[in-house]
Amino acid sequence: MENILQAIERAKGQPKQRSGISFGQSQGHATHFGDAVERDNRVQEIELDFAHLQSQRIVAYDGKDLRARPFDVLRTEVSRTMDLKGWKTLAVTSPTPGCGKTLTAVNLALSLARQPERQVFLADLDLRKPQVAGYLGVKCRDGLLGVVEERLDLGSAIIHARAGGSRLDVLPTAATSNSSDLVASTAMRMALKAVTGRGQSQITILDLPPLLMGHDAISILPQVDCVLLVAAVGTSTIAEIEECNRYLQATEVVRFVLNKVPESALTKGYSYY
Number of structural domains (the chain) is 1
pLDDT given at position 184: 87
> Domain containing 249 — which CATH number?
3.40.50.300
pLDDT given at position 114: 96
Residue 17 lies in a domain: yes
Q: Pick from 267, 243, 265: which is nearest to 9 by CA?
A: 265
Residue 100 lies in a domain: yes
Mean of all residue pLDDT scores within the chain? 84
User: 48: which DSSP letter?
Assistant: P
- Characterize the bridge pairing of strands 21-24 and 89-93: unpaired
What's the mean pLDDT in 16-31?
44
Residue 242 lies in a domain: yes
44-79 pLDDT per residue, tens? 689 999 999 999 999 999 999 999 999 999 999 999
User: 49: which DSSP letter?
Assistant: P
User: 229: which DSSP letter?
Assistant: E
For 132, the domain range is 2-265
Residue 273 lies in a domain: no
Residue 152 lies in a domain: yes
Residue 270 lies in a domain: no
Three-state DSSP state, 178 = coil
Per cent of the chain over pLDDT 90 is: 67
C-alpha span between 170 and 143 (Å, rounded): 10
Residue 88 lies in a domain: yes
CB 190 within 8 A of CB 196: no
Residue 272 lies in a domain: no
- Class of residue 117 by CB neighbours under 10 A (exposed 0-12, middle 13-18, buried 19+): exposed
pLDDT given at position 12: 52
pLDDT given at position 265: 54
